[in-house]
Amino acid sequence: MLTNLQQQPADALLALIKLHNDDPRADKIDLGVGVYRTGQGETPVFGAIKAAEKKLVETQDSKAYLGPEGDMGFVHALMPYIFGKANPDMDGRIVGMQTPGGTGSLRLALAMAQRAGVKRIIVGKPSWPNHNQICKDLGLEVFEFNHAGEDGKVDMDALRSALAAGGEGDAVLLHGCCHNPTGIDYAPADWDEIAAILAKSAVLPIIDLAYQGLGQGMEEDAYGLRRVLGAVSEALVCYSCDKNFGLYRDRVGALYAVAKDPAELGAIMSNGHALARANWSQPPDHGGAAVRVVLEDETLTAQWLDELDQMRERMRQVRARLAEAGKTGGVDLTALGSQNGLFSIIPFTPDQVQAMRKEHGIYFAGSGRINVAGLTTGNIEKFIAAVAQVTG
């Protein structure tokens, strides 16, 4: 039977990692892998997380299963940061569960939506590739609209048209902040309009909040999500701690459901638990427990937020230098200064992507998506000069 399986194409990102690793040049630059890097090119463990892990080692007295819902202390501790401290459970209308990373949360949300009757997912193009891949694996139809125009700004007309064409049986998947891969986010006024449209629509909102705190700030990055949830009766929220706590390999995420009536939450989450049981059974404990310990301790919380501020400020400095370079060869880098998060897309041609790799040892996705955190004071001038040479 196994001979019936056909060879699948290699993951483009994994292939890119190998190309970079195999390059012998000492000044090569990796702008492909989607992790934060310091000015020294390292992906650190947060000091707050290290302190929490030490506390766990000293106090944890069991490695027994958590259950499909995971560490509910972790789930509840995140809620004030996501939904607001004033009313984090929206009068009892929100319930959540732990998942293996943001990907696990998305998989669960889309499968749950499918069980509820959703057949089609409205997705901005381009989006994180795994969005469409999960939809395809579940057999969900994908309807794409242009996320941004050639001017580097969100295409609100395309979104308005997509939502107007949607209805019962549709869901829309929205990036809460730090759009991956473009870095082009909706402004507060855009979110106000999106919320008003969804308030009158039968389309189910699914909000992917994977980078809270890496854009403009923890509160600012939650604006769109809170605006939408304040306007609609139902929604699903997918959350990742992999980036804003630096817990990539520990796979730390959560799924939250917003119901019309608190009485519906039990039935909703029973489906979440059943789907989780059939997929991964129990979520991993360690990363979620470390986050919980951080958020239960005021000193560790303050330390975490300070470390997150430093990450965001470094990326803003990188973006400011790229924007300062302005027209560079045949491309204009100015817009990167107003974008958010780890990623931006530069309109390289396929030949230019290859030239950046072969002639300069600079590696990024074939789409032109770069991880701005891969740029440092030591290599950013090389990158700008290479862009000018290759695209000029």
Whether residue 294 contacts residue 48, with contact meaning beta carbons closer than 8 Å, is answered with: yes
Of the residues 155, 170, 208, 250, only one is catalytic, namely 208
Would you say how long the chain is, in residues? 392
Active site residue 243: yes
Q: What does the alpha-carbon distance between residue 385 and residue 255 come to, in Å, rounded to a whole number? A: 43
Report the alpha-carbon distance of residue 203 to residue 233 in Å, rounded. 11
Is residue 286 a contact partner of residue 263, using CB atoms and an 8 Å limit? no
CA 116, 134, 119 angle in degrees (round to 5)?
35
In the residue annotation, 208 being an active-site residue is answered as yes
Task: For 170, list phi and psi in degrees, rounded to 5.
Answer: -115, 150
**Catalytic residue (one of 30, 71, 128, 170):** 128
d(CA 200, CA 180): 27
- Clarify whether 119 is annotated catalytic: no
- What H or E segment, with its residue span, contains residue 145? strand 141-146
Which residue in 191, 243, 285, 304 is the catalytic one?
A: 243
Helix (H/G/I), strand (E/B), else coil: 26: coil
As a 3-state breakdown, the chain gives helix, strand, coil percent values, each rounded to 5, of 50, 15, 35
Cα-based angle 304, 310, 314 (whole degrees, multiple of 5): 150
Residue 16 has what DSSP assignment?
Answer: H
Q: Are 307 and 48 in contact (CB under 8 A)?
A: yes
Residues 337, 323 contacting (CB under 8 angstroms): yes
Q: Nearest CA to 123 among 107, 135, 115, 138?
A: 135
Residues with active-site annotation: 128, 208, 243
